[in-house]
Amino acid sequence: MPSPPLSIVQSLSPRIAVLTSQDVIQSCEANGCRGLEELLRPWEGGAERVSILSSTLTPTIHPTFPLRFVSFESVYVNPTLSAPNPDITVDLISSFVGAKKPEEEQHYPLTRSLLLSSRPLASHETFNHPVGILYAVSTATLDPLGMLNKLHTQSTATAAQNVPWMDGNTVLRFYVVIHDISTMGDDMATAHELLANVKKAYGPHSTLLVINSQIEHREPPMSPDISTHSSIPLPRPFTPEQSNPSALSQVYASALSSLTLSPMAAASASLGETAVSNTPFSPSRPVRRKLYGSKLSAEDTQRLAALVRELVGQSLVPWMEARVREWNEVYHANRRGITGRLFGAGRKFFGSRPNSPAPGTSPTGYNAVKGYYPMSAVEALSRRLADFAFMLRDYKFAGGVYDSLRKDFAQDRAWRYAAGATEMYGLCQLLSHPFFLPSSPPTMKPIPFTNLQHVEITSWLEQAVTAYHQHAPATHIQLDALRITVLYYECWKMIGEWRAVGAALVKGAGEADEVPSAVMIEEAAAADVKGGKSSNGKRRRAFHLALAARRYETAGLKTYSRRCLERASQLYRISPWTSAQDRIEYSLGRQAYTLGESDVAVEHFLRLLRREDTGVPGSQAGPLQDMAQAYEQLAARPELLAESYEKLKLPTPVFDSEKTRIIPSSESSYSGKSREKWTELEGQVLSTWDRKGKKPMTLLPDAKRIVVGEGETFQVELVAVNPLNSPVVLTDITLTIDPTEDITVETISEISLEPYETRVISLSVTPSWASTIHLSNVTFLFHRFFPCVQALTKKGRRLHGTKAQRLNPTYAEDTSLTVNVTSSRAGLHVELEGFPDRAYAGEEVEGRIRLFNRGKTQVENVGMIWNHVGLIRRKEDTKHSDTPFSIPNLIQPNTVMSIYQDKISPGEEREIPVIITLSNPRIMDMLGLITFSNPGDDPQTFATTVSYQIESLPIINVEAQVRLCEKTPLEFAIILETTNMSSEILQIDGVKGVSPIWETNPVQSFETLFPNQVLRSIIPVKKELSTKTDLCQSATIEALSKLVQGQPLDEISASLDSSTSIAGPSISTDDLPSYLAARRSHRLQQLTSSFPTISSISLAKLFPLIEPLDLDLVIKYSISDRQGQIFIHSLHPSPAFSLVEEIRKTINIAIASGNKSTRTMYEETSRLRQVLMDSVLDGVLAKEDDPVQVRIRVGERGKVKHDFKQNVAKKLPVNFEISNSSPLLPVRWILKLPRPSTTSLDNTLSPAQYTGLLTRKGTLKAGEKEEVIADLWIHEPCSIDLGGWELSTETGDVVDGLDWVVRNSWNRTGDEKILHVEDIA
């Protein structure tokens, strides 16, 4: 049955004023009704299938045609009675809505019905003006006709009407004769007679109504449900079979308590007696019984319904149709075509209008002062015409009239009239939708309006609403605007139109903080998500909900407000619009607090305390304080607190669990880069293990495993971050450790954090029992009130073992917060003391190692190992000044040096004097590993670390040069230039040489050097001939040969002599350790750069510490009482010779035979091999220098005097001295003397003219020299160039004493050497 929504039709239905005699009222009161209008109320909608003739004379059958019966007084005499004034309406709405729970979803229906039914009698519309008057007299009246006459006069008298703008006379008059059977008996004769008289007097619009035919007393039925509701009951009249007193009573009860049908009655009933007593005819009456229709029988209900049907069908509708036609003529006469418009304009200027229905007496225009049109004005008439047409559902026609009225009213600046017409025009357009035609099938799916139509309709509504709002303060509620918005909304709902409906509702709600506005906005939120795509509108809905919540809250409906907020927060909570989110949460929290739900409040406030970088600084202080209060309340209710305990968690953790770490008491320098160096030292200790007891797997404490002894205190470092932008105080910070027994944990009473501050907090923990403990939680009071427990869980490293682990991130268990408490752990604390921060290079400084046993057991057998080998050593008590004849010649691995053998009891301390020798100028990071074991049958070894930093400063700069000495080929001189680089006066105490074969004379000098002063000294060096040192280093070469031939490095080890003899007086025993350490470091460095592919450990197995041909110099210096020595390593006085010729031969043979081309799988392997070959065959060992020296001696100082007068020419002997300075190799040589050159460029020099054999040759053994004397022929004084000779030399090996195998050869040409030949004369 599609038709306009009942709520619209009912609220805009014709109003019939009921005027009755007192007898009739009494008859009605017998049924619990205050008058005939109430007796008729359930049957107001009783007229069904009403045929209405439209203005185009097409009859249409409409399914319903409700009426509104009201008492005469409420329309004519006291219009305020019919509807409550706006303020009361608003109060009513809020009280009714507030009385319902939000879950009942009654807020909108209640608001709608109260809004629509509270429409007051107004000048700008005629819907509440009476359309008809129903006169009723009872047959019980003594003079019924007289009474009827009196009533008629009362209604037509001018005094009867209270408002000037209402046409109370042009109404349908309908006369009813009431026959009350309960008082008059069932004799109908008098009634019919009276009806005939009435018809005779007042015409055909009269009828007879028989009521109260239930004479026999029935059992009083149950009290009906009289709770107010918003629906419109449409009861069917009872048939006799169905007659049921309680049902009948319920029908009346629900009609009378319906807020839509009888707002005042229902409202007053619920508002209590005060409201009831305001009505003028109630004081005389007893309190209304909660029992209705006790005298009515089933037939009576049918008669009542029939009365309404008759009134509608036979009287009202035809009468209204007639009025429409009649007034239409007038309307058209006034505005037909363009002339009507022109006349309309003329009327404006001349103040009168032709064809006015009531010309002359009364002013017909808009009364701007009082704000209404007189009822004689054509505009007033036209409005009534339009309203009648609207009531008769001729919406197109009504719309046309409203449209023209709208313009006229706007011209007259009658804004309220204009708004009223505008809204009705839009409503007419809306109701013209084919869906509302009664002929449409009920199943029809409404076709939506086009966009344009919809926008137009919406704009009419908006215009009307805007007009209402503009003419009142914004904060004042505009019920008119709300009402019309509700009407539009109802229509839109029917046809399923949701476009922009929410926005229209919000606009209609205006700005007033009242319940109706809030209800409308909440309804807008509901409308937002309807229609369109499902995802659309959610955000708008949330926004509208938030607005509605605020209004509800201001209006005092907290439950509704909270519901809105909660719905809104569902969306906002998942979207990162933090500020909006905070606002909602804050409001929710505050409301929960006021409702006493402090647990919920705390939960909401907690959400506000998350980290948010964009907020206004300090803004989180407020929620924090509020939460403190709420929590205080919560704490007062322990059972609630316990219940909600799980939910209350800080959104952003305060402690950064990733950064939490445990610091064992002493070993603070484990982490970072130096860890590798410790591990290296540890490896060195383990590789040279020489201790009692089992060799442990590791010495250093495991980095991933934290071990502390019983009763030892360790620190837990927590990183606290203030997540808020306001200061926060953390109190009672402590740790929960699993298991909790026997552990003392420090508690920090209070720290305060500035906004976003990060602070490191250290808590000390002392376990007193051996076990494995795990840090599980940190417990603290957040901001002094909120107890928090934060789990300190860390993830271990990411696992990649299985496919499942790779697909789902899986992490190993983290052990960094697990502490192993061992029962008796030996512990040693080591410190270096007494050393200066800086000293000069080579200086020896003395200090102490302090050993302190901080463990529980005794400790013995303390040793140390340092990363700087040999630089730190125990101080010997005795002085040795003797010089050893041999020194160790192996590159020793770094080993543990014993520093203290005896037991150290717990708590005891020992100091061991040590000496540090400083190395080259730089900052020395000395990292030491101190090993120790606990005494007993099963000694275990532990290690602890010590580190020290000392800066080594440059002291002297030494430059050394080797010169050949004249006497023998194996004697040299070393020229030493020593510069004082320091800023102090120092003394050079002596220079000594250390070498297996080179003998030096120690220089004892006591030269004082001032800063930047240079000392030059010459040190003669000669080969010690008696030495038995193997110059060829055959052990090393053999090993290298194996290596080059492809043996793995691990299997090769040269059989090196462990010591080598030293030539001549040399270094003293005291200075030996420093020298050896420096030599070792130099040698390793040298070897590593020469053989980059061989590791340093293997180098030590292949090479001796000192090469036989090396000469090291030790320069001792002293600054006042401080002493030190500087070393110069690896001076080579003699020419080098290749040691690897044998290997080269082997390799060449192998390559030539072609069977040694080993293939490798990887390119890198072959590359490394090539590097090794190159470093061996072409490296330092393969270096070979020309050992031959040539000296030419003739005459004296390059001058020869000759008496040419005596002897014209002379043979002058020139002595070529050829010496072999090689310590090992023999040499063959060929000397070619030049022929005199004929083409000399320089004429000042004469060419040398040799005579005799021009080519000489010979062989020299190592260290030998030979003189060749050539004759130079001179015949005149001149300058002769002795250069130009050519010398070819080759070194070689004598095989089997016969064959000469060439190793290397050189050629040289003599440089220019000038000989002056002078005449004696």
Partner 1 sequence: MSFYLAIVSPLDSPLFELSFPSAKPPPGTASSAASTSSFPSWSTFTASNGSDLGADGQTGKTGGNLGLLSGETKTGPERDRAMCQMIAHKSLDSVEEMMEGTGSLYLKNIDRHNEWTVSAFIATSVKFVLLHDIKNDDGIRLFFLDVWESYVKILLNPFHTVNTPIRNPMFESKIRASAKRNL
Is the Cβ of residue 620 or residue 883 nearer to partner 1 in the bound state? Answer: 620
Is the Cβ of residue 575 or residue 669 nearer to partner 1 in the bound state? Answer: 575
Provide the token pair at 393: 């559902």
Provide the token pair at 126: 């005629």
Is the Cβ of residue 596 or residue 936 nearer to partner 1 in the bound state? Answer: 596
Q: How far is the CB of 447 from partner 1 (least distance, A)?
A: 20
What count of Cα atoms within 13 Å lies in the side-chain half-sphere of residue 875? Answer: 13
The 3-class SS string of 1097-1153 reads: HHHHHHCECCCCCCEEEEEEEEECCEEEEEEEEEECCCCCCCCCHHHHHHHHHHHHH
| Distance (Å, whole) CA 847 – CA 833 | 6
Q: How far is the CB of 789 from partner 1 (least distance, A)?
A: 27
Q: How far is the CB of 543 from partner 1 (least distance, A)?
A: 4
Q: How far is the CB of 554 from partner 1 (least distance, A)?
A: 6
Is the Cβ of residue 553 or residue 1290 nearer to partner 1 in the bound state? Answer: 553
Helix residue ranges, H only, 215-336? 245-256, 263-271, 273-278, 298-310, 317-334
Q: Are 1185 and 1139 in contact (CB under 8 A)?
A: no
Residue 389, φ and ψ in degrees, nearest 5: -60, -40
Question: Is the sign of the CA dihedral 95, 98, 101, 105 positive or negative?
Answer: positive
- The β-bridge relationship of strands 1245-1247 and 1278-1281 is parallel
Is the Cβ of residue 354 or residue 596 nearer to partner 1 in the bound state? Answer: 596
Tell which residue, 354, 379, 371, 352, has the closest CA to residue 363: 352
DSSP character at residue 613 = T
Q: How far is the CB of 256 from partner 1 (least distance, A)?
A: 35
Q: How far is the CB of 456 from partner 1 (least distance, A)?
A: 16
Q: How far is the CB of 579 from partner 1 (least distance, A)?
A: 4
Contacts for 898 with CB less than 8 Å, ≥ 6 apart: 861, 862, 863
| Distance (Å, whole) CA 1195 – CA 923 | 59
Q: What does the binding site for partner 1 look like in residue numbers (CB under 8 A)?
A: 463, 466, 469-470, 474-475, 507, 511, 513, 528, 532, 536-540, 542-544, 546-547, 550-551, 553-554, 556, 558, 572, 575-580, 582-583, 586-587, 590-591, 593-596, 614-616, 619, 621-623, 625-626, 629
| Distance (Å, whole) CA 1190 – CA 731 | 93
| Distance (Å, whole) CA 955 – CA 1011 | 10
Q: How far is the CB of 553 from partner 1 (least distance, A)?
A: 7
Provide the token pair at 1063: 């030539």
Secondary structure element (H or E) that encloses residue 585, with its range: helix 578-594
Q: Where are the strands (E) in 491-582, listed by range? A: none
Is the Cβ of residue 409 or residue 942 nearer to partner 1 in the bound state? Answer: 409
Q: How far is the CB of 513 from partner 1 (least distance, A)?
A: 6
| Distance (Å, whole) CA 556 – CA 515 | 8
Is the Cβ of residue 580 or residue 1173 nearer to partner 1 in the bound state? Answer: 580
Q: Largest Cα–Cα distance in the chain?
A: 205
Contacts for 287 with CB less than 8 Å, ≥ 6 apart: 273
Helix residue ranges, H only, 1030-1124? 1034-1044, 1072-1090, 1096-1102
Classify each residue of 234-250 as buried b or exposed e, where b means 16 or more C-beta atoms within 10 Å of its C-beta: bbebbeeeebebbebbb
Is the Cβ of residue 630 or residue 1076 nearer to partner 1 in the bound state? Answer: 630
Classify each residue of 971-998 as buried b or exposed e, where b means 16 or more C-beta atoms within 10 Å of its C-beta: bbbbebebbbbbeeebbbbbbbbbbbbb
The 3-class SS string of 767-828 reads: ECCCEEEEEEEEEEEECCCEEEEEECCCCCCECCCCHHHHHCCCECCCCCCEEEEECCCCCE
Q: How far is the CB of 107 from partner 1 (least distance, A)?
A: 19
Q: How far is the CB of 629 from partner 1 (least distance, A)?
A: 6
Is the Cβ of residue 613 or residue 1299 nearer to partner 1 in the bound state? Answer: 613
Is the Cβ of residue 540 or residue 1183 nearer to partner 1 in the bound state? Answer: 540
Q: How far is the CB of 404 from partner 1 (least distance, A)?
A: 22
| Distance (Å, whole) CA 338 – CA 343 | 9
Length of the chain: 1321
Q: How far is the CB of 473 from partner 1 (least distance, A)?
A: 10
Is the Cβ of residue 180 or residue 603 nearer to partner 1 in the bound state? Answer: 603
Q: Which residue has the tokens 């009664």?
A: 438
For residue 945, the cross-strand partners are: 929
Is the Cβ of residue 623 or residue 1247 nearer to partner 1 in the bound state? Answer: 623
Is the Cβ of residue 578 or residue 816 nearer to partner 1 in the bound state? Answer: 578
Is the Cβ of residue 390 or residue 543 nearer to partner 1 in the bound state? Answer: 543
Is the Cβ of residue 574 or residue 1298 nearer to partner 1 in the bound state? Answer: 574
| Distance (Å, whole) CA 398 – CA 391 | 9
Q: How far is the CB of 539 from partner 1 (least distance, A)?
A: 5
| Distance (Å, whole) CA 242 – CA 961 | 140
Is the Cβ of residue 595 or residue 1014 nearer to partner 1 in the bound state? Answer: 595
| Distance (Å, whole) CA 917 – CA 1071 | 10
Provide the token pair at 232: 């419109």
Provide the token pair at 439: 């002929």
The 3-class SS string of 935-987 reads: CCCCCCEEEEEEEEEEEEECCEEEEEEEEECCCCCCEEEEEEEEEECCCCCEE
Is the Cβ of residue 595 or residue 812 nearer to partner 1 in the bound state? Answer: 595
What count of Cα atoms within 13 Å lies in the side-chain half-sphere of residue 16? Answer: 29
Is the Cβ of residue 613 or residue 1296 nearer to partner 1 in the bound state? Answer: 613
Contacts for 163 with CB less than 8 Å, ≥ 6 apart: 79, 121, 123
Distance spanning both ends of the chain, measured CA to CA? 162
